[in-house]
Chains A and B, each alone.
Chain A
Amino acid sequence: MKRLFWRIFVLSWTAMILVGAGFSLFVAASYPTERMERRLQRFVSALGLQGEEILRVRSREGEDAAHALVEALASDLENDLWLVESGAVRLGSTTPPAGDLVQRLATQATAKGYREQAGAVEQVAVSLRTPEGAPSPWVLVAVNPRPAPLWRTLEREAQRLVLIVVVAGLLSLLLARYLSRPLSRLREASDRIARGDLKVRVTPALAGGSAEVMAVARDFDLMAERIEDLLESQRRLLRDVSHELRSPLARLGVALELARKRAGPEAEGALDRIERDSLRLGELISEILDLSRLETGTNAGEVEVVDLGALIAEVVDDVDFEAKGRGRSVTLTLDPAESLVTEARPELIRRAIENVLRNAARFAPDGTAVECTVRVLDDGGHRYAEVTSRDRGPGVPEAELAEIFRPFYRVETARDRNTGGAGIGLAIVERAVRIHGGVVRAENADGGGLRVIMRLPLGAAARTAVRLAA
Chain B
Amino acid sequence: MNNANHILLIDDDVELTELLTDYLKAEGFEVSAAHDGVSGLARAIAGECAMIVLDVMLPGMNGLDVLRKLRAQSQTPVLMLTARGDDIDRIVGLEIGADDYLAKPFNARELVARIRAVLRRSEARKESLGASPPEVTSLVVGDLELVPSSLTCRLDGEVVPLTAAEFALLEVLVKAAGKVVSRDELSEKALGRRLSPYDRSLDVHVSNVRKKLARGSHGSDRIKTVRGTGYLYALDAASGGGS
* Interface set of A (CB-CB < 8 Å, partner B): 243, 246-247, 249-258, 261, 278, 282, 285-286, 289-290, 293, 299, 301-302, 304, 307, 309-310, 313-314, 316-319, 321-322, 332, 334, 336, 346-347, 350, 354
Contacts and interface: CB of A to CB of B under 8 A. Distances in A.
A243 to B, nearest CB: 8
A150 B197 CA distance: 98
Given A254-B23, A293-B85, A354-B198, A307 B225 contact: yes
A299 B87 contact: yes
A252 B105 CA distance: 9
B131 interface: no
Given A246-B105, A313-B227, A254 B19 contact: yes
B73 to A, nearest CB: 29
Contacts of A302: 91
Given A246-B105, A250-B13, A286 B85 contact: yes
Nearest to B57: A243
Given A255-B19, A314-B228, A318-B198, A278 B91 contact: no
The 3 A-B pairs at the shortest CB distance, nearest first, are namely A313-B228, A257-B108, A250-B105
Contacts of B106: 250, 253
Given A258-B23, A310-B227, A322 B13 contact: no
A461 B72 CA distance: 43
B149 to A, nearest CB: 33
Contacts of A249: 105
Given A243-B83, A318-B197, A322-B197, 16 more contacts: A246-B84, A246-B104, A249-B105, A251-B19, A253-B107, A257-B107, A257-B108, A258-B23, A282-B105, A290-B85, A299-B86, A299-B87, A299-B88, A307-B227, A318-B198, A334-B227
Contacts of A261: 23, 26
A334 B228 CA distance: 11
Nearest to B221: A305
Dominant secondary structure at the A interface: helix
Interface of B: 13, 15-16, 19-20, 22-23, 26, 83-88, 91, 103-109, 183, 197-198, 200, 203, 207, 225-228
A257 B109 contact: yes
Contacts of A251: 13, 15-16, 19
A261 B107 CA distance: 14
A321 B16 contact: no
Nearest to A351: B85
Contacts of A309: 227
Contacts of B107: 253, 257
B19 A321 contact: no
27 contacts: A243-B83, A249-B105, A250-B16, A251-B19, A254-B23, A256-B108, A257-B23, A257-B107, A257-B108, A257-B109, A258-B19, A258-B23, A261-B23, A286-B103, A299-B86, A299-B88, A302-B91, A307-B227, A310-B226, A314-B203, A317-B197, A317-B228, A321-B197, A332-B228, A346-B207, A350-B200, A354-B198
Given A257-B109, A278-B105, A246 B227 contact: no
Contact of B227 (A258, A285, A336): A336
A318 B203 CA distance: 13
Nearest to B229: A313
A251 B19 CA distance: 7
B88 to A, nearest CB: 5
A253 B83 contact: no
A257 B88 CA distance: 29
Contacts of B22: 258
Contacts of A247: 13, 16
B229 to A, nearest CB: 8
A302 B88 CA distance: 8
A309 B211 CA distance: 20
Nearest to B231: A310
A313 B231 CA distance: 13
Contact of A254 (B108, B225, B228): B108
Nearest to B90: A347
B108 A310 contact: no
A309 B132 CA distance: 42
Contacts of B104: 246, 250
Nearest to A316: B228
A318 to B, nearest CB: 4
Nearest to A307: B225
Contacts of A258: 19, 22-23, 26, 108
A255 B23 CA distance: 8
